[in-house]
């Protein structure tokens, strides 16, 4: 009999201990986090609250927006059982808020039986700034004269910090860069292939609260016609280039198919790479005065030559030549067109062995088809410094330099950057006045 009583006593004691452990197993309230938790926000800002309770799961959440003495309920939600984590998007646009400081009061409870079944509760107060006013853009530069295929520069001022700013031209965005003066400078282009009616540059700015504004600029757009050229592909050229191109082609076919794949798909990939390299740019100008060209060189091809390719008398392909082909002597020393930083020095598809130099504000120069590279990425170079030697690598039929100029990854007319007067009137003069 005594043994039975001891057994039941022990059983009750074990049960009591188990109940105590179960009751106290979760005494912490849910974790609450807000993203973004700092900085200005607007009705466009994707505010997100995250609630986490790994022990017993969430029960309910309440969100109240407080501005001054006004309390505005925003969320009152019961959470499905066994939910350990949930994120809720906050729509501040549904409330009549004024610009200024607001508080976000968040209360969450869990499924714990602690506090006599009421569960654990967490309360957190977030203080943020509500801002619905878009930034004010003040254009500083006066004249903006651009020729199709060419470049331009606009300077402007913003009344607040920008999350993103620059010039929008159709689908192309050219970033603006904050200068030491506190003003912004933005190089942009009139793309060679853009219809005249579509060229409407707009200065764009969005602030830290995602408020956006665009404004127009006074500009003059000049028309430009580009040459058309017929390129006859010889059998010897196709066969000569095939071994160099075959590693780039997924399925090697006959030499002509290999050439067509490189001239189309690889050319497209190379232009994407130039757009990628444009991200590696200085926020301040690195160049000094006008850019120089290869001395004593004949011009074999011009910027935006529209080429029709023929093979054995039949049309087989089309492409646009986005640079200048310059030829002097075989393996000529290639000078840097201006001061800058090397961001690429390697093989690159149609360009063969090539070098890309960043000159700041998204401006970069390309030196292609080289036979020898004497610099490497990260090197700072000065105008007229020897970069290497010309050659016939890539899509080159003979020894020459393909020289290209890019603004934020968009190919532009090199001739302008070689012109001292054009540079002074359209670019350098504006930067000096900035």
* Ranges of each domain in the chain: 2-130, 137-222, 228-433
Per-residue pLDDT band at 24 (split at 50, 70, 90):
very low
300: pLDDT strictly greater than 50:
yes
CA distance linking residue 357 with residue 392, whole number of Å: 20
Mean pLDDT value of segment 275-284:
97
What mean pLDDT value characterizes the chain?
A: 91
79: pLDDT strictly greater than 90:
no
Tell me the torsion sign for CA atoms 224, 354, 275, 432: negative
pLDDT digits (tens, 9 = 90+) for 120-168: 888 999 999 999 999 999 999 998 999 999 999 999 999 999 999 999 9
Q: What is the pLDDT of residue 21?
A: 43
Per-residue pLDDT band at 56 (split at 50, 70, 90):
confident
The domain 137-222 having CATH identifier 2.60.40.10: the answer here is yes
406-422 as b/e, with b when 16 or more CB fall inside 10 Å?
bbbbbbbbbbbbbeeeb
Quick one: DSSP state of residue 187? E
Cβ atoms of 202 and 167 within 8 Å: the answer is: yes
Cβ atoms of 87 and 46 within 8 Å: the answer is: no
Tell me the torsion sign for CA atoms 412, 415, 417, 421: negative
Q: How far apart are the first and last CA of the chain?
A: 101
Domain pair 2-130 / 137-222, same fold: yes
State both tokens at 398: 């003979």
Q: What is the pLDDT of residue 19?
A: 41
Q: What is the pLDDT of residue 391?
A: 96
Mean pLDDT value of segment 325-341:
96
Angle at 350 between CA 344 and CA 352, to 5 degrees: 50
1: pLDDT strictly greater than 70:
no
Of residues 26 and 97, more confidence is placed in: 97
CA distance linking residue 76 with residue 352, whole number of Å: 63
CA distance linking residue 187 with residue 175, whole number of Å: 8
Nearest 10 degrees: Cα torsion 320, 356, 173, 145: -70
Contact partners, residue 51, CB within 8 Å, separation at least 6: 30, 31, 32, 58, 61, 79, 85, 86, 87, 88, 108
Contact partners, residue 149, CB within 8 Å, separation at least 6: 190, 191, 192, 224, 226, 303, 304, 412, 413
Whose tokens are 């016609």? That residue is 225
Q: How many residues does the chain have?
A: 434
Give strand pairing partners of 101. 129
Q: What is the pLDDT of residue 211?
A: 95
pLDDT digits (tens, 9 = 90+) for 381-403: 999 999 999 999 999 989 999 99
pLDDT digits (tens, 9 = 90+) for 343-360: 999 999 999 999 999 999
pLDDT digits (tens, 9 = 90+) for 373-384: 999 999 999 999
Q: What is the pLDDT of residue 9?
A: 54
CA distance linking residue 194 with residue 81, whole number of Å: 57
CA distance linking residue 165 with residue 168, whole number of Å: 9
Of residues 382 and 240, more confidence is placed in: 382
Give strand pairing partners of 388. 334, 373
Of residues 122 and 2, more confidence is placed in: 122
Cβ atoms of 299 and 242 within 8 Å: the answer is: no
> What is the fold of 228-433?
Glucose Permease (Domain IIA) (2.70.70)
CATH architecture, domain 2-130? Sandwich (2.60)
23: pLDDT strictly greater than 50:
no
């Amino acid at each position: 009999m005594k043994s039975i009583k001891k057994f039941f006593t022990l059983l009750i004691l074990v049960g009591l201990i188990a109940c105590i452990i179960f009751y106290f197993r979760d005494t912490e309230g849910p974790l609450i986090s807000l993203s973004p938790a700092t900085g200005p926000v607007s009705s466009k800002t994707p505010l997100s609250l995250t609630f986490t309770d790994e022990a017993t799961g969430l029960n309910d959440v309440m969100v109240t927006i407080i501005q001054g003495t006004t309390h505005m309920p925003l969320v009152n939600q019961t959470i499905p059982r066994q939910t350990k984590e949930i994120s809720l998007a906050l729509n501040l646009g549904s409330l009549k808020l004024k610009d200024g400081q607001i508080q976000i009061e968040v209360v969450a409870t869990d499924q714990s039986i602690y506090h006599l079944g009421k569960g654990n509760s967490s309360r957190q107060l977030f203080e943020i700034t509500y801002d619905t006013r878009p930034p004010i853009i003040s254009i500083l530069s006066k004249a903006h004269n651009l020729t199709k295929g060419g470049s331009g520069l606009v300077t402007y001022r913003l009344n607040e910090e920008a999350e993103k700013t620059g010039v929008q031209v159709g689908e192309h965005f050219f970033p603006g860069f904050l200068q030491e003066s506190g003003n912004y400078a933005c190089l942009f282009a009139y793309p060679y292939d853009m219809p005249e009616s579509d060229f409407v540059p707009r200065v764009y700015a969005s602030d830290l609260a995602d408020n956006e504004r665009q404004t127009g600029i006074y500009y003059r757009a000049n028309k430009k016609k580009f040459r058309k050229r017929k390129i006859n592909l010889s059998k010897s050229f196709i066969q000569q280039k095939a071994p160099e191109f075959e590693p780039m082609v997924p399925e090697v076919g006959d030499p002509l198919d290999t050439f067509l794949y490189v001239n189309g798909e690889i050319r497209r990939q190379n232009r994407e790479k130039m757009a990628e390299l444009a991200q590696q740019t200085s926020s301040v100008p690195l160049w000094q005065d006008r850019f120089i060209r290869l001395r004593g060189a004949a011009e074999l091809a011009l910027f935006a030559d529209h080429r029709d390719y023929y093979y054995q008398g039949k049309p087989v392909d089309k492409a646009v030549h986005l640079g200048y082909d310059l030829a002097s002597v075989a393996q000529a020393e290639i000078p840097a067109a201006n001061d800058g930083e090397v961001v690429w020095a390697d093989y690159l598809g149609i360009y063969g062995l090539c070098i890309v130099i960043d000159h700041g504000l998204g401006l970069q120069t390309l030196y292609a088809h080289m036979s020898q590279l004497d610099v490497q990425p990260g090197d700072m170079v000065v105008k007229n410094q020897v970069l290497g030697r010309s050659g016939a690598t890539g899509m080159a039929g003979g020894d020459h330099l393909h020289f290209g100029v890019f603004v934020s990854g968009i190919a532009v007319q090199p001739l302008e950057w070689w012109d001292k007067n054009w540079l002074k009137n359209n670019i350098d003069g504006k930067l000096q006045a900035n």
